[in-house]
Structure 1
Amino acid sequence: MINLKKHSNIALGYFLLVGLLGLFLRLFFVTPVAANFRYVVHAHSHIALLGWVYIGLITLFYRMYFKDSQITGTYRKIFWFTNITLVGMLLTFPFQGYALFSIIFSTLFLIASYWLAWFFIKKVPKKYRERSSWKCVKASLIYMIISSIGPWAIGGVMATLGNTSIWYKLSIYFYLHFQYNAWFILALLGVLFFLVEHLNIRIDKKAFNSFFILLNAALILSLFLSALWVEPPAVFFILAAAGAIFQAWAFIQFFRIIRPVWKELAAHISLFTATLLKITALFLAVKILMQLLTAFPYFAGLSYLYPDFVIGYLHLVFLGIISIALFAFLNFFNLLKISRKIFWIYLAGFLLSEALIFYKGAAIWLGLPFFTEYFLILLIISALMPLAIAILLAKNLKSSIVNDSGR
């Protein structure tokens, strides 16, 4: 029997490390720090995506499809092998950046992710294979594999063209696009539809298929949004705009599917979980609007000229959509216990830090006044998020110890 609560706590532990690394990065702008900023950024981003989100999602997947299964041995091997690679990255990236040992651990993680995708696609019980939720989850795993083309390409680009080449950035954007917009979002949608199916709530299959096709078309075409900063030929702007429009259209379809069943769904989940999902939906709408704007050449140029807008967008998706949705689903499946007070501390830190990040970009863009204590205030406000996560982790670890000792 696999202790999935333990796995959830491990994922949350990575989230805490991500928050602390983020604070450390903020500290660089407040006082001299004896460390390499770029190296710490590499550690921060890798543990964010591959630690907290990845481990959180695969824990949910196992809970969904293998709760009553005896298939544990292979999954255990994959899980712990993955964690060895994550610890390896955590211990190497901050000190050497992209170098021999960090590249070895990153490569081993990619191999582990392929192994994991094979495990789920091969072993998921037949009774789930025709369900809408599995369509989303299976597609998300395929996009996860596709996203790995980016890291493989980076090695070749660095060896031949160097890290100043546009292809270096394009390889990173390729990876981030299929991670953030495809693998993570589709995986979370799969969990949501599984929840609907688990509660025996019927959805319109025809409407779902239409949404699924539109979303996949959008995910392919919206990749071009990540390339507009190089000022490509007009056809790239047309394809990017089509991707942004298809994405908006797809999620209009999605909300049309969910809206008729929301009352029934909300009646079977806690009020707090429902609130988390509503907040996620709000941030998702903001994300879609931002991507629509970047389809216009003027706004695409802004995102390249003012990196704070890109940082704010990435944090919106990671901290505002993906992480809050993970909180909601882990809470629903009783894999984490999340209190309202702790979440509001987290949300306050997120919203205030986002406001400051976007304000800095807008201030440089529009020539707005900029205050001297900006970076110190941002550091203090950002500390609310790891504080909330630390309290949450401590409470869940204490609960696990109490439950284990009581058996």
Structure 2
Amino acid sequence: MGLGRHGFDHPKNQASLAVGFLLLSVVLGLVLRGFTLFPVSFTYKYLVHTHSHIALLGWAYLGLTTVLYALYQPTESGVRKYRILFWFTQTTLLGMLLTFPWHGYALGSILFSTLFLFASYGFFWFFLRYLKPGKTHAQSHRTFKAALGYMVLSSAGPWALGAIMGTLGPTSNWYRMAIYFYLHFQYNAWMLLALLGVLLYFLEEQGWPLPKRIYRVALGLIHAGIFLSLLLSALWTDPPRVLNVLGGVGALASLVGLGVLGYWVWEKRRQLFEPSVQKFVAAAIAGALGFKLLLQTLTALPYFATLAATHLDFTIGYLHWTFLGVISPGIGMAMGYQSLLKFRKPAIWLYGVGFLGSEALIFYRGAAAWLRLPVPEGHPYALWGTSALMALALLLVLVHPPKTTRP
């Protein structure tokens, strides 16, 4: 866990810091799930805000930007500018960590959240200015640029929240829509496309860039799917049925576009994923992504859209499935490929068992409310225990220093 001979803002140490934020967010999740089991003196809603911000901004944002920074070699002046940007970003994260648990959305937390948005804009500028692609990395760089563009677009949601709270109030449908707008472009655009860019980068490194036509068609479908599937976030308001159709078309477009790319990667799997553990994790991520896309497509049907809106556990389960089953392992694999972190088998198994166990328990609780099934008395303890396994897995990652070779 030591810094070694590298500065704290070296990519290897940034990767460890990002995993530390993920561990912290899981611990906060344990506290939240322990509200009904143990005496907790914090305000539940405030800890929810802390948990979500640290997970999305401390782990996912820092993890992905670290991966992007490590893929390219900026100039010496670029390194100096990045160092300033890095420490400014950490200041905003620390500020949120010290304000959200005590006051929720108040002056301090809103200030640091706003400053973080400017930090993220700064990274987009830094990427365009200093992280230039080589001739063989055109497709991945274009995909990274689109991903960061979606990250900037997602910030329209937080900016709109202030105006909505001052006019319509936090109980209006528009308040929830602003949050869903942000989450949609974070999960389904910025994070997913950034991981896709990493995959394309390593394909290009091996001399296997996608055929230009396949790249154009697949990315075109994915972009169309991103915008059209945004409509799925509004189906709980019971809009005209045409929005269900358009949202469903968007979900299918994403499915087909990612399927085309998935088929190409499948053809190269033996050369791309060498150790068996890499193949296993890659297959698990692909399976989790497929299930996520299936759930997304189902919500285009009015019955399932109402079901997801009525039983919150289905929505929570879906968001956790996407974040902990697709995004987080994807970032971990990208870090492992660059030797930024070492993921040993015990940590992978603990994380997998904890993730699948907690997801099964969350979805069962939603199904029990839907179908009027009994929920065992030990359910909260089982949910807390499976979540604790993920925390233990992340701790194991942090206590083992990264090696200089790929996992």
Kindly report which structure 2 residues correspond to 1:11-22, keeping only aligned pairs within 5 A, or say none. 11-22=18-29
Match of 1:328 in 2: 333
Deviations 1:194-215, CA, capped at 9 Å, x for gaps: 0111122243221111000000
Deviations 1:52-94, CA, capped at 9 Å, x for gaps: 1111101110111227866201111111111110011011111
Q: RMSD across aligned C-alpha pairs, in angstroms?
A: 1.7
Contact 1:207 1:257 in 2 (8 A): no
Q: 1:149 aligns with which of 139, 146, 156?
A: 156
Shift of 1:103: 0.1
Paired letter, 1:334: S
Alignment gaps of 5+ in structure 1: none
- The range that moved more, 272-281 or 80-89, is 272-281
Contact 1:208 1:257 in 2 (8 A): no
Instruction: Mark the CA change 1:293 to 1:16 in structure 2 (over 3 Å): closer, same or farther.
Output: same
Kindly tell me the number of residue pairs found equivalent between the two proteins: 397
- The range that moved more, 6-15 or 385-394, is 385-394
Paired letter, 1:71: G
Instruction: Mark the CA change 1:30 to 1:247 in structure 2 (over 3 Å): closer, same or farther.
Output: same
Q: Does 1:38 align with 2:42?
A: no
Deviations 1:145-192, CA, capped at 9 Å, x for gaps: 000000000111111111111111000000000000000000000001
Q: 2:355 aligns with which of 350, 354, 358?
A: 350
**SS, match of residue 378 in structure 1:** helix
Deviations 1:353-402, CA, capped at 9 Å, x for gaps: 00000000000000112111211221112110111111211223xx69xx
Paired letter, 2:311: Y
Contact 2:136 2:205 in 1 (8 A): no
Instruction: Mark the CA change 1:313 to 1:126 in structure 2 (over 3 Å): closer, same or farther.
Output: closer
Q: Does 1:178 align with 2:164?
A: no
Q: 2:295 aligns with which of 290, 312, 336?
A: 290
Q: 2:130 aligns with which of 123, 128, 134?
A: 123
Deviations 1:249-305, CA, capped at 9 Å, x for gaps: 112211222222222323xx4332232211111100000100110010000001100
Shift of 1:33: 2.0
Q: Does 1:101 align with 2:108?
A: yes
Instruction: Mark the CA change 1:128 to 1:36 in structure 2 (over 3 Å): closer, same or farther.
Output: farther
Match of 1:60 in 2: 67
In 2, the alpha carbon distance for the partners of 1:376 and 1:264 equals 43
Kindly report which structure 2 residues correspond to 1:319-398, keeping only aligned pairs within 5 A, or say none. 319-396=324-401
**SS, match of residue 144 in structure 1:** helix
In 2, the alpha carbon distance for the partners of 1:208 and 1:202 equals 9
In 2, the alpha carbon distance for the partners of 1:199 and 1:315 equals 33
- What is the TM-score of this pair, normalised by structure 1? 0.94
Alignment gaps of 5+ in structure 2: 1-5
Paired letter, 1:100: L
**SS, match of residue 163 in structure 1:** coil
- The range that moved more, 87-96 or 119-128, is 119-128
In 1, the alpha carbon distance for the partners of 2:349 and 2:224 equals 36
